[in-house]
Structure formats: structure tokens, C-alpha cells
Amino acid sequence: MQRRDFNSLIGLSSIGLMSYATPISHNRKIIKKHNFNLNYAPHLGMFKHHVGNDPIDQLNFMADIGFKAFEDNDMRNRDVSLQKKMSITMQKRDIKMGVFVAHQIYWNKPTLTTGKKKYIDEFLNYIQKAVDVAKIVNAKWITVVPGHLDLRQNVAYQTSNVVEVLKKASGILEPHGLVMVLEPLNFRDHPGLFLTKSPQAYEICKTVNSPSCKILFDIYHQQIQEGNLIPNIEKCWDEIGYFQIGDNPGRKEPNSGEINYRNIFKYIHSRGFNGILGMEHGNSKRGKEGEELLISAYKNVDNFI
């Protein structure tokens, strides 16, 4: 990954953080800035064929297009110097920081469901470290995945174990105004995980009973897992803190699959949602053509007013 020098904030402000008053050509055609109705959040790599791999160039390109948010699952693993550089860029370009993954996720073995002290301590240590990262990048939301089922225990006991550790994590996050968002994942892509459905996440959040424990409603995962998207969003509404996007099948941009994203976004907007909708998906076509198709798709599904 290429990185610019971080020798002075003055140089960064004058070169890397330029705000463009007119549409700009990115080596292919003029891309006009769009005033999106919701805070859709791209991730790094989504526009690399237009501006390369430099994170600052990518953030500036997102802002040029009109995106008002950004998410980065890997933010906690990036160098602190890069975290600071990205944070300054987001502030200058008025981009909200979305989620990053707060902890090590174990996909193939039970951890938080077991109730074992070593897993609880490790998780809470990650949560404490996530607070430090969130302060640097001005993040409010962090992603949490409770991990694999413990097949040696009744699911009720597992649920109790998960609730107890999430209560402790909430105690760490609440003083800082941070929110962990629990992500139910589908059985096809992630078989054997404990948290899979939105009603299950809703029950856990109600039991934890903290403003720092909410649901990450990933529309792609829940289309596969349970369908009935708008009614389930409505049922879970008061516990949803964050959305993520991906069409099905394929987990690509809206209009590449079967999900009626225009109607879903219309409903979310009608509820006054001012949070972030993370674009956690790939591009259905490669290269610049695919990136331009993605931009057009979001303009299309955002046209619900």
C-alpha cells in the first residue's frame, strides 16, 4: 500500500485534503457530485481503479462523489499514523466514520458462548483497545460478532453467557458514548455461528438494556437468513444502530440481485434514520466500469423521494 508522507499537517491540508468546487475528471469521465438522501458508507478498495490504493486519495474520491460516510472493518489493525491521517481527511471532507471490527472473531470455535473467563477477558481487552481507536478516528460504532455455537451447552445457557459479557462491555463503552453493534450472520456464508437472526439480536439487546449495545442489521445476511426485510426492520427498529448493504445473490451493489433496495431505503429514510449504511459488498463488474456502475446504482436506488 502506498502512503503519503505525514511530515506536516500543513502539507496534508494543502495537497491531500483539497475540496473541489466543480465536478472532477478521474482519468475516464466527469463524475458529478450527488446529494445522497442517506449516509451510505463505502470502504477502501471500492474505487481503487479510479484513484489507486492510497487511503487518502480514496477518501477524497468518496467525498467528491457525494458519499458522506465511510467504514473500515480493519481500522483497528492500521498504523496509528495512518488512522490519524484518515481521521483528519474525514473531518476536512465532512465524512462520518462508520464501523470497524472491535475484536478478534473466532469463526470455527466457541468463545463468548462458553462463559469461560479466558475468552471473556480477551474480548473485554479488545473492547478497551477499541475505545482508543474510536477516539482517534471519531468513530461511534464498533462491530461485535459473538462467535460460534457451543454445541455442548443448551442455547439458553449460551445466550445468558453472551448477555453477561455484553453487559460488561457496555460498561466500558457507555462513558465514551460508543455503541457496539451486534451482527447476525447467515448460515450459508458462516455456518455454525451463535447469532443468526434479527429477533435473536433484538432479544439480546433488550436484555442487555444499554445504549451501547444495538443491532447491526446487515440486509444481505438477513435476506438469506430470514427474508421479510422491511417487517423485520420495523420490528427491530428501536434496537437497530447501524445497517449494512449487499444484494443477494452475489453480495454486490444494489440492483445486481433480487433485493428491492429503493423501497428499503425509502422505508429507512421515512423513519428519520440519520445513521450510517455501510456498503459491505463487492462490485459486480471489474475495473473502472464496475466502479462507475456502483455509483450509478446508488444514485438509482437513492431516488425514492
Q: Which residues are part of the catalytic machinery?
A: 183, 280
Identity (one letter) of the amino acid at 269?
Answer: H
Q: Give the span between the Cα atoms of 114 and 281, in whole angstroms.
A: 31
At a CB cut-off of 8 Å and minimum separation 6, what does 84 contact?
A: 6, 136
Inter-residue contact 138 to 88 (CB < 8 Å): no
